[in-house]
Amino acid sequence: MPPVPTTTTSIVIATVTITLAPGGTPINGPVPSGISQPGATTPTWNANVIPPTSASSVTFTAPPSYTTVVPVPTSSNSPPQNITGPPGDKNDDGGDWWLLLFGAVIGGFLPHDVGIPGGITPTAAPPVGWTGGWDDPDPTSTSKNSQSSTSQSSTASCPVATATYALDDDSENSDWAGQGTDPDRRRSSPRAEASLERRDPRHIAVNDCSIVVINAAGEIRLGAGTYYSIGLKLPIGLGTVLSTTLVSSRPVGNGKGLVAQEHVFELGYIDQFFTVATSAGLSCNWIQSNVFNFVRADGSNMGMALLNAIDTRTWFIQAKSNVVNQNKATAADPPQKDKMDTFTSFTTSQDKIQDVEYFARNFAALGSYFGGTADVFRATALRVQNLLAEITPDTPDANLPVEFNGWLRGLVATYPAGCTSRATNVYNYYVAKMNTIRTQANPVPACFPLYSAGVNPQSFTFANLIPPAPTLPSCDIPGTQGRVSVGNDAQGNPVFEVATFHILGSGNTDFYAIGTGTSISNLHHIVNDLSTSYPNCVGSFQIAQNLPSAGFATANITLNCNGQGGNHVNAPFTYVVNNQVLQCALLNKNDGSNTFFTICAPNLGAAHACAASAMAAVSGTYPQAYVSTASFIFWP
C-alpha cells in the first residue's frame, strides 16, 4: 500500500487517474465505481429537523394532535430529556423515543412525522471544496444546491428560469388527514414558516368525535404508482396536456421530493361523511360502536378495513386540495392567492410568477386528472360502500351504504365546476396582479407566456366516479328487530317462529340478510346446497341458521316494503341465492317440537319435489312429517 501523500498527488488505478489532496482525500470525486478506499469514511445523513438554537424549550408536533413541549437541559451535565413520540410511531432505529440534550441537540432519530415549529430542515449540500457530480443523499430533503438544468429555453429578455417548483400548498390544506389532501408533501404554514409535517402513519378519522384509526404498518411508504403530469416547469410554456407514466418510486419532477403522492379517494372523505352524519343527528357513540368497532364476519375490525380499502395512491403535483376541501372558491380568494399577493416586480418575483403559471396550468389539467383516475376512485368508493353494507347497527338510525352513496354523489357533483371555476379564478387573479406591476414602459415580459395566452380549464364527467347506488329496501333497515311468520294456520292467523330476528347488513347493496344474531358475524340465515343430498334436489337449497365459521354463504333476502318507509313495516320477504329469488317449502317435523326445515328452489314445484325427497329420507326419524308452502313476513 502506498504511503499517505503529503502533497497533491496523482495516482493511476486501473487506467483511471485520481488526484489526491495532501492527506489522501480524492479531489475530483466521485471515485469511479468499482474502486473503493480501505479505511475511508462513508458520509452518513441525519435528516432530523434542527431546533432553533437559542430555544429554552423545544416543541415537537405530529399530526393529528401530538404536541409536547420539552425544556432544554440547562448545562452539559444535566440529564438528557427522553421524549416518546405519538403512539405507534417509529423512528429509523425502530424505537419511539429520542433525546433532547444540552444546547437543544437531538440525540437519536426523530420519527418522520415529528416536526419542530420554527425548526430548520437540514438540506443536502455538497461538502465545501467538492468539485464532482452531486446526488442528493436524502431524496426527501430539499436541496439548497439548485440542480443545474441543462434544457433552458429563455428568450433573450428573460433571465434563466429556476427548474424547481417551490409553491407550497395553501395553508388551509395543510391538515391533510382531517381534510383529505395528500399525506406527503412537506409544507410550511405562514404562522410558523419552518414548521414541517412529514410522512404520517396513514389514518382515517372522525375529528369531531375524536375517532382515529391509525394504520398499524406505521409511516407511509412511498412506492410505485401512476404519475400524472403536464410535464416539467422548464421550458416555460403553455402545456396543459396530462400524461401518465408508471413509476417505481417517487418521480423527481421539478425537483426531488416535490411530487406528492396522494390518495385518489381521499382518506378525509371518511371524516367528511361522518361529520355530515353527526350534524344530521347520528351520535359519536353510535358511529364509534356501530361503525369503527364493528366486527366483520371474518372477525376483523371495520375501522381498519375502511382504512385499508382506501389505500390506492397516485403521484400528482399538488393542485387538488382546494377542490376536495371546498376552499379558495371565490374570484377574490383563489388558490395560491397569498403567493400572488407577494408579486412586486417582474424581476424580483420572477420565480414565483413562473411557479404560479405552472400551478395554473396544473389546475387547468385537474379535471383531466379526476377523469383519468375515475375508475380507481369508483372502485375505491365501491369497496367502502360494500363495507358499510356489512354493518348492522344496534339501532336502525342510518342506512349507511345508501347515505354514503347519496353524500358522495352530491359532493363529487360539485367537483367539475370546482375545478374549472378555481382554475379560471387563479388565472384572472394572476392577470390582475400582473397588471398592477405592469406599466407602459415596463410591459409583461415574454418569460410569462400564460399572461397573454389564457387558460382553458378541463372538466370531467363526475358520474364516472360514483359506484352504482344501492337498491336496498327503504323500510326495516339493518338493526330493525321483529318476528318472522312462515305462513298462516287454518284460521288464517300468522304462524310465528319462536325467536326475535334482526334485519342484518349483508355486505350486498341490493339485499339484506336476516338472523337471530346481531350481525352477519353472529347467528344468521345461511344457504346449504342440497343438489347432491337427496334425489330431485339439483338447484335446491336448505335455509338454516349458522355462524360464519360454519363456512356457508349468507342467505340474502328481498324485503317488500309495499311502498312504505320507516322501520315499522310488516314486510313479506323471499330468500335470494346468487341473485336469484327462491320459493320455499316447509318440511314440518310434526313431532311436537313445532320446528321445520326450510327448503327453497327457483320455483315452488322444484321446492316441493326436493322437500318430498328429503321427507322420505327422514321418515324414520319424523314419521308424521308433512310438507307445506312457506310465505315469510317480517313483523317489526
Ligand X SMILES: *[C@@H]1O[C@H](CO)[C@@H](O)[C@H](O)[C@H]1NC(C)=O
Task: Write down the number of H helices and E strands in the chain.
Answer: 13, 27
Report how far residue 456's alpha carbon sits from residue 444's, in angstroms, rounded to the nearest whole number: 21
Q: Name the grid cell of 345.
A: 416586480
Candidates 507, 515, 517, 548; binder of ligand X (CB under 6 A) is 507
Q: Name the grid cell of 383.
A: 369497496
Single out the segment in contact with ligand X by CB under 6 A; choices: 156-164, 280-288, 412-420, 502-510: 502-510
| Residue nearer to ligand X on the CB measure, 578 or 621 | 578
Compute the least distance from the CB of residue 31 to ligand X, in Å.
37
Measured from each CB, the residue nearest to ligand X is 508
Question: Which of 300, 272, 274 is closest to 288 using CA atoms?
Answer: 274
Q: How far is CA 459 from the centre of its chain?
A: 23
Compute the least distance from the CB of residue 555 to ligand X, in Å.
6
Query: Does 578 engage in binding with ligand X (CB under 6 A)?
Result: yes
Question: Which of 219, 305, 211 is closest to 261 using CA atoms?
Answer: 219
What are phi and psi for residue 14, nearest 5 degrees? 45, 50
Report how far residue 255's alpha carbon sits from residue 355's, in angstroms, rounded to the nearest whole number: 13
Scanning residues 281 to 320, which ones bind ligand X (CB under 6 A)?
A: none
Interaction mask 510-529, ligand X, x per CB under 6 A: -----------------x--
Strands in 272-426 per DSSP E: 313-316
| Residue nearer to ligand X on the CB measure, 227 or 597 | 597
| Residue nearer to ligand X on the CB measure, 247 or 387 | 387
Single out the segment in contact with ligand X by CB under 6 A; choices: 7-15, 133-141, 196-204, 553-561: 553-561
Report how far residue 437's alpha carbon sits from residue 344's, in angstroms, rounded to the nearest whole number: 7
Q: Looking up cell 429556476, which residue turns up?
A: 162
Compute the least distance from the CB of residue 601 to ligand X, in Å.
13
Compute the least distance from the CB of residue 91 to ligand X, in Å.
12
Is residue 567 within 8 Å of 476, Cβ to Cβ?
A: yes
Compute the least distance from the CB of residue 198 to ligand X, in Å.
21
What are phi and psi for residue 556, nearest 5 degrees? -95, 160
Question: Which of 270, 301, 256, 109 is closest to 202 using CA atoms?
Answer: 270
Candidates 272, 508, 540, 588; binder of ligand X (CB under 6 A) is 508
H/E stretch holding 368 reads helix 366-372
| Residue nearer to ligand X on the CB measure, 436 or 578 | 578
| Residue nearer to ligand X on the CB measure, 82 or 342 | 82
What are phi and psi for residue 427, nearest 5 degrees? -65, -45
Q: Name the grid cell of 198.
A: 412529514
Report how far residue 112's alpha carbon sits from residue 138's, in angstroms, rounded to the nearest whole number: 13
Candidates 458, 556, 570, 588; binder of ligand X (CB under 6 A) is 556
Own/partner long-range contacts of 588-593 (Cβ < 8 Å, ≥24 apart): 588/625, 588/626, 588/627, 588/628, 589/622, 589/624, 589/625, 590/622, 590/624, 590/625, 590/626, 591/622, 591/624, 591/625
Interaction mask 448-487, ligand X, x per CB under 6 A: ----------------------------------------
Q: Is 239 helix (H, G, I), strand (E, B) or coil?
A: coil
Partners of 67 in the β-ladder: 61
Q: Name the grid cell of 155.
A: 428568450
Single out the segment in contact with ligand X by CB under 6 A; choices: 118-126, 468-476, 552-560, 617-625: 552-560
| Residue nearer to ligand X on the CB measure, 187 or 525 | 525
Q: Strands 225-229 and 313-316: what pairing?
A: parallel
Query: Does 577 engage in binding with ligand X (CB under 6 A)?
Result: yes
Single out the segment in contact with ligand X by CB under 6 A; choices: 85-93, 417-425, 547-555, 559-567: 547-555
Single out the segment in contact with ligand X by CB under 6 A; choices: 35-43, 46-54, 236-244, 506-514: 506-514
| Residue nearer to ligand X on the CB measure, 91 or 368 | 91
| Residue nearer to ligand X on the CB measure, 101 or 166 | 101
Compute the least distance from the CB of residue 282 to ligand X, in Å.
24
| Residue nearer to ligand X on the CB measure, 397 or 510 | 510
Compute the least distance from the CB of residue 327 to ligand X, in Å.
38
Report how far residue 128's alpha carbon sits from residue 324's, in angstroms, rounded to the nearest whole number: 45
Q: Residues in contact with ligand X, total (CB under 6 A)?
A: 14
DSSP of 597-624, one letter per residue? EEEEESSHHHHHHHHHHHHHHTTTT-TT
Interaction mask 49-88, ligand X, x per CB under 6 A: ---------------------------------x-x----
| Residue nearer to ligand X on the CB measure, 380 or 556 | 556
Q: How many CA atoms lie within 13 A of 443 on its CB side?
A: 7
| Residue nearer to ligand X on the CB measure, 65 or 82 | 82
Candidates 66, 97, 134, 407; binder of ligand X (CB under 6 A) is 97
| Residue nearer to ligand X on the CB measure, 22 or 71 | 71
Question: Which of 170, 173, 172, 149 is closest to 161 using CA atoms?
Answer: 149
Q: Strands 260-263 and 481-488: what pairing?
A: unpaired
Report how far residue 580's alpha carbon sits from residue 246's, in angstroms, rounded to the nearest whole number: 42
Query: Does 13 engage in binding with ligand X (CB under 6 A)?
Result: no
DSSP letter, residue 49: P
Compute the least distance from the CB of residue 586 to ligand X, in Å.
19
Candidates 553, 562, 603, 626; binder of ligand X (CB under 6 A) is 553
| Residue nearer to ligand X on the CB measure, 107 or 449 | 107
Compute the least distance from the CB of residue 79 to ligand X, in Å.
9
Single out the segment in contact with ligand X by CB under 6 A; choices: 454-462, 469-477, 504-512, 618-626: 504-512
Single out the segment in contact with ligand X by CB under 6 A; choices: 21-29, 310-318, 367-375, 551-559: 551-559
The residues binding ligand X (CB under 6 A) are 82, 84, 97, 99, 506-508, 527, 553-556, 577-578
